[in-house]
Amino acid sequence: MESKQSQVLNLERVQALDTWLKATNTTLTQVNGQRKYGGPPEVWGGPPPEARCEVFISQIPRDTYEDLLIPLFSSVGPLWEFRLMMNFSGQNRGFAYGKYGSPAAANEAIRLLHGHMLEPGSCLSVRRSTEKRHLCIGDLPASTRQEDLLKVLRVLADGVERLSLKAGPGIEGVSAIVAFSSHHAASMAKKVLVEAFKKQFALNISIKWQSTVKPSLDEQLSPHKPSKSVLPSPLKPPRHTPSSPLTSAPPPRMVSPPPVPLGFCRAVGGPTVPQPPPPPPLRYSPSSSQGHLVSTAPSPSPMALLRKLCEATGVGQPLYEMYYSHVVPDGFLCFTYKVCIPGITVAFKGLVMILPGPTAIATLEEARRAAAQLVLQRLYNNELAH
């Protein structure tokens, strides 16, 4: 696990990104652990890219963001899409994907930017992206019909272009080879379809990558030594990690899927509507004195309840101090809190775990709400010191 220090954001770099986004009117979209630019951008005038137009960029410093990367890779040619992989702390994960309008532009990016030095001791690796676009979905019922399955997949996943069914010796049930419009669309589908089929149809399917096209010669060849870049390295502010409340990358936006076509439901004998979701889970949050169970479901404004309770009892309004602590493996952010209420001699202290919000302000507000909920629990349990 990364050290606590490595997870602290360089706030100067975050501010530089915000300034660049406003100055250039650039829009970034958070989707499933990554920030996406374009796909295409508003200024794009050509057709969608074909195969072999994407490059894989690695060895990116963790506090480097789109304000440096997009201008750098756009200097080679117009970008159709740029995707920077993000973690919950708000740092990048060290790699990204850039897609150009032609294979020639992607080749030029590899030639010019592989080995490019962003800062002393940090050189980018730029190679051809594999761009696998085909998935093999196995363990489908023998009664599966191609047209019904295609309709279902287009409801449950984006970018489904076509599919073919196959059956025979060594194949249990029916398997489907599904072609997607992009590697990204296939990757997203691979993450969600197993669970979706289990919930919609009570089917346990299997999904794996299907290699149906041999890579071309230029995909097999990639530079093995960093080349001297002909482009200047952009200036970068000094690396430092001030101690203060932190922002985080926004989580993926959950959207309710449309109804699944009934043809496939009848064929497999599965339910025609999704089952109701289970109750929201409770998270264990240790504090200085004891552990607390905190629901991840939206709360009815515990900060307002605490404020009204303080007004009713004649004590002063609560004051919140929130500081980022660390991130746990399941993606929850941990904040230490200190809530002081004038008229109560003991400050309330502890630790809360929350999911990151879409902005720094939203994340801190959610942490305050979780802290207020714990303070309310202790107040109602008469844990007061007069």
Residue 61's pLDDT is what?
A: 93
pLDDT at 264 over 90: no
Distance CA 331, CA 328 (A): 6
- Output the six-digit token pair for 297: 């479901």
- φ and ψ of 20, to 5 deg: -65, -40
Average pLDDT value over all residues in the chain: 76
The phi, psi pair for 72, rounded to 5°, reads -65, -50
Q: How far is CA 211 from the centre of its chain?
A: 26
How large is the average pLDDT for residues 271-278? 51
Tokens linked to 201 = 């149809």
Average pLDDT estimate for 320-332 = 76
State the average pLDDT over residues 33-53: 87
What is the rounded CA–CA span in Å between residue 134 and residue 117?
A: 35
Residue 360 has a pLDDT of 76
**Per the structure block, which two tokens stand in for 92?**
């990048």
Looking at residues 199-208, what average pLDDT do you find? Answer: 89
Which structure tokens are listed for 42? 């508003």
pTM for this structure?
0.47
DSSP3 helix / strand / coil % (the chain, rounded to 5): 30, 25, 45
In this predicted structure, the answer to whether residue 257 has a pLDDT above a threshold of 80 is: no
Q: Which of 134-143, 199-208, 225-234, 313-322 has the lowest mean pLDDT?
A: 225-234
Residue 371 CA: distances (Å) to CA of 89, 251, 347, 375: 20, 21, 12, 6
Q: What are the pLDDT digits (tens) for 49-102?
A: 888 899 999 999 999 999 999 999 999 999 999 999 998 888 899 999 999 999
Contact 183, 129 (CB under 8 A): yes
Domain residue ranges of the chain, discontinuous segments joined by +? 5-130, 134-214, 282-380
Contact between 244 and 170 under an 8 Å Cβ cutoff? The reply is no
Q: Could you tell me the CATH superfamily of domain 5-130?
A: RRM (RNA recognition motif) domain (3.30.70.330)
Chain position carrying tokens 């008469």: 382
H-type helices in 337-381, by residue range? 360-380
DSSP 193-246: HHHHHHHHH----EEEE---SPPPHHHH---SSPPPPSSPPPP-PPP----S--
pLDDT category of residue 221 using cuts at 50, 70 and 90:
very low
Q: What count of other Cβ atoms lies within 10 Å of the Cβ of residue 34?
A: 22
| Mean pLDDT on 361-369 | 83
Domain pair 5-130 / 282-380, same fold? no
The DSSP 8-state label assigned to residue 260 in this structure reads P
Residue 10, token pair as written in the block? 């360089």
Backbone φ and ψ of 59, nearest 5°? 60, 35
pLDDT value of residue 136: 92
Structural domain 134-214, CATH architecture: 2-Layer Sandwich (3.30)
pLDDT band of residue 324 (cuts 50, 70, 90) is confident
Q: Residue 185 — very low, low, confident or very high, per pLDDT cuts 50/70/90?
A: confident
**Domain spanning 282-380: CATH 3.30.160.20:** yes
**What share of the chain has pLDDT > 70, as a percent?**
70
* Distance of alpha carbon 97 from alpha carbon 184, whole angstroms: 10
Crossing angle, helix 11-24 and helix 66-74, to 10 degrees?
Answer: 50
Residue 237, pLDDT above cutoff 80: no
**Over residues 321-327, mean pLDDT:** 82
